Every structure is written in C-alpha cells, then in structure tokens.
C-alpha cells in the first residue's frame, strides 16, 4: 500500500457569515509512496491545509476518497488515524505543562498503553530530553516547534504530515528543523510536508507535487521538477 492514496478528492466550503462558498479542492488525485519525503508546494489559498485537514479527520470531504496506509479515512477511520501524525501549523500549546507531561497527555488521547509509551525516546530524538521537566512556556520557539513534532509521534505513526513546518521562522531555525525531519525520515517515517517555499521543498523532498487553486498541476521527482523550472 501507498502511504497516501487520494482519488478525485473534492471539497466545497459552504458560504458562511465569514466567507463566501469556495471550491477548495477540485478533484485531486495523489499517491505518496511509502518511504518518501513528499513536498506539497503551493501558494497561500491553494488548498494545502484543506487536504491535510481532511486526512486528519478535521474537515469533511465533499466527495472522492482517501486512504492512509491502505485504510479508508471514511470506512476505516480508526486505523487511518492511527497511521498518521499531524504537526499543525500554529503553535497552540499547553504552556503550563512540561514536555514530558505534554507527551504523556497526548499518548493518553491516543490510548497508547503506559507500557508502550516511548516518551523519553521521542524527547531524545527531538533534542528535548534535557528540557523534559521545564515548562513549555520557558522553551524557545524552536523547541516548541520540535515539541509539536514530538507530540505527533507518540503513537508511532508510519506517516508524519507537517503543515508549513517552518512558516515564519528564521533561516537558522528552519535549517535546524530540517535536520530533525531528515533524521525521522532516515529512521523510516514517510514524511509529507506542505510549504510555500520552493527552497524548503528543494532542500528536503525527494518528490514534489504542486497544488494551485485546488488542483495538482505537477507531481514528479525533485530532479525532474527542478530541471524544468
């Protein structure tokens, strides 16, 4: 099975008081092979978050289908959700907890039995072990971002999706985050990230799809894509 297999996925947001109706995904087909670092590149408003939020179960699709590691998000929701970790864009965090507590709480949400938790191992992998008992509000911006990644890993998902992992961070921190993402990939996690920085897709990804106005306009290896730009 592919890590992600999306077929003719469509999303229309209904009009609300805040926004007009919007056809955000217009029949997207996409396959993300296992073991890849896959970049979904596109400008603001292209439909990247909508796609991720559908995979995460946070937004309902209008039509089409999506599978995660072979599990249909609609009919095998529990298995599909267990197969992905999502790193959200914004840093919304429980600032009065410590990193250790934050991971334990997250593991609780996912129903990971105490005996199977890998809290210290995950903190170590993200370079946070020496901060395990600090308060989250005392962490630097980079550490908070790494803690967000750590939280997405508590249930040991084979697929990790990062939504604009380095939006609004300086170049030094961006490079640091890239190092951690590459290391997770090296250890066997399939990585999907959205970005509007070509440079980021270029630095990290082996395959890049371009989404524009709710449609995939290119999907190829990094080398093939860059040779055309």
Choose between 157 and 181: whose C-beta lies nearer to ligand ADP: 157
Kindly report the number of other CB atoms within 10 A of residue 93's CB atom: 16
Q: At its nearest, how many Å lie between ligand ADP and the CB of residue 9?
A: 12
Determine contact, residues 197/166, Cβ cutoff 8 Å. Answer: yes
Determine, following the binding rule CB under 6 A, whether residue 17 of this chain makes contact with ligand ADP: no
Q: At its nearest, how many Å lie between ligand ADP and the CB of residue 146?
A: 16
Determine, following the binding rule CB under 6 A, whether residue 166 of this chain makes contact with ligand ADP: no
Degrees (nearest 5) of the Cα angle 152, 150, 204? 85
Determine, following the binding rule CB under 6 A, whether residue 50 of this chain makes contact with ligand ADP: yes
Contacts for 110 with CB less than 8 Å, ≥ 6 apart? 82, 154, 155
Query: Do strands 190-195 and 37-41 pair parallel, antiparallel, or not at all (unpaired)?
Result: parallel
In whole angstroms, what is the distance from residue 61 CA to residue 17 CA? 21
Choose between 168 and 175: whose C-beta lies nearer to ligand ADP: 168
Determine, following the binding rule CB under 6 A, whether residue 47 of this chain makes contact with ligand ADP: yes
Determine contact, residues 182/204, Cβ cutoff 8 Å. Answer: yes
Segment contacting ligand ADP by CB under 6 A, of 37-45, 66-74, 126-134, 184-192: 37-45
Q: List the one residue from 17, 19, 78, 133 that touches ligand ADP (CB under 6 A).
A: 19
Segment contacting ligand ADP by CB under 6 A, of 27-35, 39-47, 69-77, 169-177: 39-47
- Strand, coil or helix: what is 73? coil
Contacts for 222 with CB less than 8 Å, ≥ 6 apart? 39, 201, 202, 205, 206, 207, 208
Binding mask 107-126 for ligand ADP (x = CB under 6 A): --x-----------------
| Crossing angle for the helix pair 171-186 and 141-151, to the nearest 10 degrees | 20
Choose between 125 and 154: whose C-beta lies nearer to ligand ADP: 154
Determine, following the binding rule CB under 6 A, whether residue 49 of this chain makes contact with ligand ADP: yes
Binding mask 62-101 for ligand ADP (x = CB under 6 A): ----------------------------------------
Kindly report the number of other CB atoms within 10 A of residue 155's CB atom: 19
Q: List the one residue from 3, 4, 6, 24 that touches ligand ADP (CB under 6 A).
A: 24
Binding stretches for ligand ADP (CB under 6 A): 13, 19, 22, 24, 42, 44-50, 109
């Amino acid at each position: 099975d592919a890590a992600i297999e999306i077929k003719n996925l469509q999303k229309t947001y209904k009009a609300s008081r805040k926004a007009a109706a919007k056809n955000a995904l217009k029949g997207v087909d996409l396959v993300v092979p296992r073991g890849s670092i896959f970049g979904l590149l596109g400008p603001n408003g292209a439909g990247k978050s909508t796609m991720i939020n559908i995979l995460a179960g946070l937004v309902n699709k209008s039509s089409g289908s999506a599978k995660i590691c072979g599990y249909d998000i609609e009919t095998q929701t529990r298995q599909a959700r267990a197969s992905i970790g999502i790193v959200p864009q914004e840093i919304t965090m429980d600032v009065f907890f410590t990193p250790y507590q934050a991971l334990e709480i997250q593991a609780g949400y996912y129903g990971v039995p105490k005996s199977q938790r890998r809290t210290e191992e995950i903190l170590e992998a993200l370079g946070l072990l020496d901060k395990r008992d600090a308060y989250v509000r005392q962490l630097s911006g980079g550490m908070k971002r790494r803690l967000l990644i750590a939280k997405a890993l508590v249930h040991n998902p084979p697929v990790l999706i990062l939504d604009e992992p380095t939006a609004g961070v300086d170049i030094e921190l961006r490079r640091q985050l890239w190092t951690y993402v590459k290391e997770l990939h090296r250890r066997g996690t399939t990585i999907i990230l959205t970005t509007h920085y070509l440079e980021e897709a270029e630095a990290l990804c082996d395959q890049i799809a371009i989404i524009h106005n709710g449609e995939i306009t290119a999907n190829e290896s990094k080398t093939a894509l860059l040779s055309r730009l």
